[in-house]
Structure 1
Amino acid sequence: MCCGVTIGDMATNRRPGSQGALRAANQARVVQALRAAPATQSEIAERTGLAHATVSNIVRDLRERGAVSTQPTVHQGRRASLVTLERAEGPTVVGIDFGRQHVRIAVAADDPVVLVEDEVVLPVGHRADDSLAIAAERLDELLEEAGLQRGSVAAICVGVPCPIDLRTGAILGHSILPEWDGVTQDRISEAFGMPVELANDSDLGAIAERAFGSYGEVDDLIFVKLGTGIGSGLVIGGRLHRGSFGIAGELGHVQVDPAGTLCVCGSRGCLETLASVRVMAQSLSAVFGRPISSADIVRQALAGDPATRRVVADAGAAIGRAIANAANLLAPAVVVVGGPLAELGDLLLEPVRDGFERFALHALTTSTRIVGTSLGSRAEVLGAVTLARQSAKAAAFI
């Protein structure tokens, strides 16, 4: 059975819509407390600072998954339960998510619970060879922390914020990671010393929402990744839809203003030119006379800054219009919005819904739900873990 959840510096998303991320972070603290030695629930509460009721709920959940076992004991003269972390069984798999300024790595066994996880900051404009070397080194460190060897890894999935040509296995990195343009799956495999599966990050977000989120029974779903660019992962009829050669879901290049700004793709008025985090940050940087980050946008909007809220609302309306265009063709049951601004909750989602209702077919406005991700910034790496696990299981039958 799997022996735990995440460790490391996992940020806790405090928005009400991010309870899944909060639960995951609390589970991580409990598992980390048990890695040194078994403990009673009272001792776990003391080590983690969590409430006794929270610890009790987490221990019950982990016991149901087989991640921990409990047995009667006596603690300070009272009957108690001793909680022991079980060793992982099954193949070890790795999910890796590269972004414009980060790489997140997660190691898991054959179970939905992640063993170890960490994020490393990368410089803007990072080159593939340098970043792959950093990721490979950090992976070795995480495996050592988990008491595992590189040879125990059965499968690795690497996600990137770029379209991927499935015919050649090459990254089409002309937009978010231009430095990675033309990098192939084989080249990435060489960096990790074993074959890897390469996937688009928005596709991985869609996979994660069904595997780790609340939508395992939803067969028609769109995951929208709002970041430096805007992409979407499409699940149609219960299967991930990548298109004829892998680039389906480029929502950021849906045209919303024919006379708009020239886009890097060569068209004009693409959604990314109006509503990406990069464009929002540029607009606000001009207003405030200083560089603005995605974290600044979240902080300022939550604090009630009118300029920031206006930028978010305008972007949300444009995103809603583009989602409506996609929904009119695909009729999804759920659209999940993720990315660094998901923490804004309804400040972002309400204008998205307004834009959607204006341009979607009436039947869709009453049947398609638009919600925020409960997985926070972990959605893409959890999708990579899921895809790696599927690859490991498929290989076992070959």
Structure 2
Amino acid sequence: MAKRRSPGSQGALRAANEARVVSALRGSPATQSEIAERTGLAHATVSNIVRDLRERGAVSTAPTVHQGRRASLVTLERAEGPTVVGVDFGRQHVRIAVAADDPIVLVEDEVALAPGHRADESLAIAAERLDELLRDAGLRRADVAAICVGVPCPIDRRTGSILGHSILPEWDGVTRDRIGEAFGMPVEVANDSDLGAIAERSFGAYSGVDDLIFVKIGTGIGSGLVIGGRLHSGAFGIAGELGHVQVDANGTLCVCGSRGCLETLASARVMAQSLSAAFGRPITTADIVRQAIDGDPATRRVVADAGVAIGRAVANAANLLAPSAVVVGGPLAEAGELLLEPVRDGFRRFALHPLATSTEIAGTTLGSRAEVLGAVTLARQTARAAAFI
């Protein structure tokens, strides 16, 4: 059975707290002390969130008096433009965000899904949770102008079908129309790594960078490519399958039919299998991150070996595309420098010297929200384009 999952990273916690502040302001303006009372958040937390929202134009502040003391009255600026929805499906989760045509995500939540979840069941869960979130925001399904759904699979742009044989085999062949039927309206469907790249260029530390590669390391390994300021998905929509770049010609057979693909050496799934065999107990992706941070030598070795292999594959891509930045995301990115430094090491070994000395490799600042923020951005673009038809 699907269940709600509490935020597992600082980025997700920050998003949840911001949503609580926005919700507290939806009925009427309030002082920061009143916001703290309504949300249960610490005054310092409220102050920081209000400051960030004000810088983004999402709220305005004005001097007032509260309980005989000078205070700041915070007012939520009414969003202009359509309401849009971003949905991010993973191997074991779905994250949903409802946003207006402004920087604010109005409401957001993540629900855990069982491994091997089937499309019809998971789409029904997502649609039901979306209706609940819309009600929380005082909206209805009819108010939604566009929905973008992200999946960890390539999308054949010619047919609108998911090619899910690797990460979500249960979704293989599911079409865009079938997903749209579940949500009761047409949807955009996109690869999750592509959405991560869109989010990094729109919200992340590399906003406005015209040439970057977003690498997502999870159950599989994918990449989103921004070239010349535009997302590059290739002739058929499946560009960026970094996980199927061959790094060992005599390596393990991959589900794609080739041998020695990057995913057979460096995905979270393979790392977990290796460590489970070593420890004699099941190891999860979260365990890998925790054990690496705690200093377990076997885990650190597995993470380092994976990082070098990923760096080598990224270098091969960079030698063709010459990005100015490579951003690493996905669940394994929470290992921080324990993963990033080996990635840089592998990159420096195999990238052309000008790239090895100038291309920046860093972790995402968006945490687990990158893909859903990319979905919101793409949905917003769809809604704006529809307004001119």
Q: What is the TM-score with the length of structure 1 in the denominator? A: 0.92
* Distance in 2, Cα, partners of 1:304 & 1:36: 48
Alignment correspondent of 1:17: none
Alignment correspondent of 1:367: 358
Q: Is the Cα contact below 8 Å between 2:31 and 2:73 reproduced in 1?
A: yes
Q: Deviations over 1:332-370 (max 9, x none)?
A: 000000000111110100000001001111110111011
Is 1:13 the counterpart of 2:9? The answer is yes
Q: Secondary structure at the match of 1:173?
A: coil
Alignment correspondent of 1:264: 255
* Distance in 2, Cα, partners of 1:155 & 1:104: 16
Q: Is the Cα contact below 8 Å between 1:170 and 1:183 reproduced in 2?
A: yes
Out of 168, 188, 203, the position equivalent to 1:197 is 188
Following superposition, the deviation at residue 114 of structure 1 comes to 0.6
Q: Deviations over 1:312-351 (max 9, x none)?
A: 0010010000000000110000000000011111010000
Change (3 A) 1:99 1:9: closer
Alignment correspondent of 2:72: 81
Is 1:139 the counterpart of 2:135? The answer is no
> Which structure 1 residue ranges, 5 or more long, are not aligned?
1-7, 15-19
Change (3 A) 1:372 1:21: farther
Alignment correspondent of 1:153: 144
**AA at the equivalent of 2:141:** R
* Distance in 1, Cα, partners of 2:356 & 2:118: 43
How do 1:1-398 residues align onto structure 2 when only pairs under 5 Å count? Answer: 11=7, 13-14=9-10, 23-35=14-26, 38-45=29-36, 52-398=43-389
Identity %: 85
Q: Secondary structure at the match of 1:341?
A: helix
Q: Deviations over 1:368-393 (max 9, x none)?
A: 01100011111011000000000000
* Distance in 2, Cα, partners of 1:336 & 1:152: 34
**AA at the equivalent of 1:159:** G
* Distance in 2, Cα, partners of 1:9 & 1:185: 27
Following superposition, the deviation at residue 299 of structure 1 comes to 0.9
Aligned-residue CA RMSD in angstroms?
Answer: 1.8
Change (3 A) 1:365 1:21: farther
* Distance in 2, Cα, partners of 1:50 & 1:116: 17
Alignment correspondent of 1:3: none
**AA at the equivalent of 2:163:** L
Following superposition, the deviation at residue 289 of structure 1 comes to 1.3
Following superposition, the deviation at residue 62 of structure 1 comes to 1.8
**AA at the equivalent of 1:167:** R
Q: Secondary structure at the match of 1:144?
A: helix
Following superposition, the deviation at residue 225 of structure 1 comes to 0.6
Following superposition, the deviation at residue 52 of structure 1 comes to 4.3
Q: Deviations over 1:16-58 (max 9, x none)?
A: xxxx666545433433443465432233345556564553343
Following superposition, the deviation at residue 13 of structure 1 comes to 2.7
Change (3 A) 1:302 1:204: same
Following superposition, the deviation at residue 60 of structure 1 comes to 2.9
Q: Secondary structure at the match of 1:158?
A: strand
Q: Is the Cα contact below 8 Å between 1:112 and 1:212 reproduced in 2?
A: no
Q: Secondary structure at the match of 2:331?
A: coil
Q: Is the Cα contact below 8 Å between 1:21 and 1:374 reproduced in 2?
A: no
Q: Is the Cα contact below 8 Å between 2:315 and 2:351 reproduced in 1?
A: yes
> What is the aligned residue count?
386
Following superposition, the deviation at residue 120 of structure 1 comes to 1.0
